[in-house]
Structure 1
Amino acid sequence: MRTKHFSKKEFSSFDKIYKANFINSLGGIKCANLIGTISKDNVPNCAIFSSFLHIGASPALVSILVRPNTIPRDTLENTQNKKFFTINHVNLDIIEQAHITSAKTNRSEFDITGLTAEYLNDCPAPFVKESLVKFSCKYIRTIDIIENGTHLVLGSIEDIYLPEEICLENGDLDLEKAQTVGVTGLNIYNKVKIEKKLDYVHRIE
């Protein structure tokens, strides 16, 4: 393959949508997740995100990046109001329904897509029943990114639900078996396939 160089001047002049797809794709394949929240009026909300970030395992902390709230951002507002959100892996069976949740709407995405809201273990935020790997998070705080107006929502993992069959001996999860999908850019969905499993690398002298 031939290497093509893009200077900052060049990629900054790209069409808005083209540039969003292009820059978003540079980070590689990311996990596609549906974030479940509930409004102050108890309307369930569901939105697709690819900006999930693992912060740490002990304590178990995660975050999602939310775009600037120059227009209403239900996920951000609901999380800050209700103090809980859920993260639900998108799998092969619900790609199209999950993708539709990126559209602007005044209705509940559960009603529009036919996905099923389910409530587990007293978590006020809805889970997506059709998702196989999902967990609830308690809201901790929002970190504002002043450079572009985005918001990093920090949460602690509370309850986890997943198929027992995907749990491997050392704690790894077989996400290929769970049919979890990844996303490149804004609209290219990818299968997860385990190519090789290697041993943990310890100190090398």
Structure 2
Amino acid sequence: MFYDAVANTHGLAFDPFKALVAPRPIGWISTLSKSGVVNLAPYSFFNAVSEDPHFVMFSSGGRKDSQRNAEETGEFVCSLATYDLRDAMNRTSIPVGPDVNEMELAGLTPEASRIVKPPRVKESPVAFECRYWKTIELPGKAGQPGTHAIVLGQVVGVHVADEVISEGRVDVTKLRPLARLGYGDYAVIDEVFTLTRPGARGG
């Protein structure tokens, strides 16, 4: 099939776009409000976008607490959402007011970061401490104002649980990160295979 993506004339019961761009990593973004309230929310429009220096991004539909807090305080943390933390991750997606601490709501433990002020999720095996860089506002349809924005941050600190490192490499099958698919579906990474790129030296 082919359909006009601007008019979105796919003719299916559900929009297939997010099911086709899959799997997507989940950025579990923690921030602090200016008054010091912890916010924690999962974003499936998330990824690493630069290796040297390290940058990550998350995309917010509407100016949610994560985006506003990152912009106002200049900091955020991204913890890894894993299979073991799937239920807690899902609980933090509930829409609540800016005065609600989702980390507390989900029964998670805030752990102090080393460089930035927002806490990381102690139960998560990986966390990226980030300094906010900039927000890119995306346009809407037909020249109208958009409702989505990309938030970019430089990674200034990385936490990795020692037990997931084997022979100098991170073993992703021990991490078992969650990935977002389409609709209400998720996947877990617990099996990998290796391909060597032509001319690559590994790593």
The normalised TM-score by structure 1 is: 0.84
Q: Does the alignment pair 1:47 with 2:50? A: no
Corresponding residue for residue 164 of structure 2: 166
CA contact (8 A) 2:39 2:65 kept: yes
* Residue 190 (structure 2) aligned to one of 189, 193, 197: 193
Q: Secondary structure at the match of 1:24?
A: helix
Structure 1 position 7, deviation (Å): 2.4
Q: Does the alignment pair 1:74 with 2:90? A: no
Unaligned runs of 5+ in 2: 141-145
What letter is aligned with 1:145? L
* Residue 103 (structure 2) aligned to one of 103, 110, 113: 110
CA contact (8 A) 1:82 1:124 kept: no
Corresponding residue for residue 118 of structure 2: 125
Unaligned runs of 5+ in 1: none
Q: Report % sequence identity.
A: 24
CA–CA separation in structure 2 for the residues paired with 1:186 and 1:33: 18
Alignment of 1:83-94 (within 5 A): 83-94=74-85
Q: Deviation per CA, 1:79-138, whole angstroms, max 9, x where unpaired?
A: 011111111111122101101211111221112111111112142112111111111110
Corresponding residue for residue 146 of structure 1: 139
The normalised TM-score by structure 2 is: 0.84
* Cα distance change on mapping 1:10 and 1:39 into 2, 3 Å: closer
What letter is aligned with 2:154? S
Structure 1 position 157, deviation (Å): 0.5
Q: Does the alignment pair 1:155 with 2:126? A: no
Q: Does the alignment pair 1:98 with 2:109? A: no
Query: Root-mean-square deviation (CA), in Å?
Result: 2.1
Q: Secondary structure at the match of 2:170?
A: coil
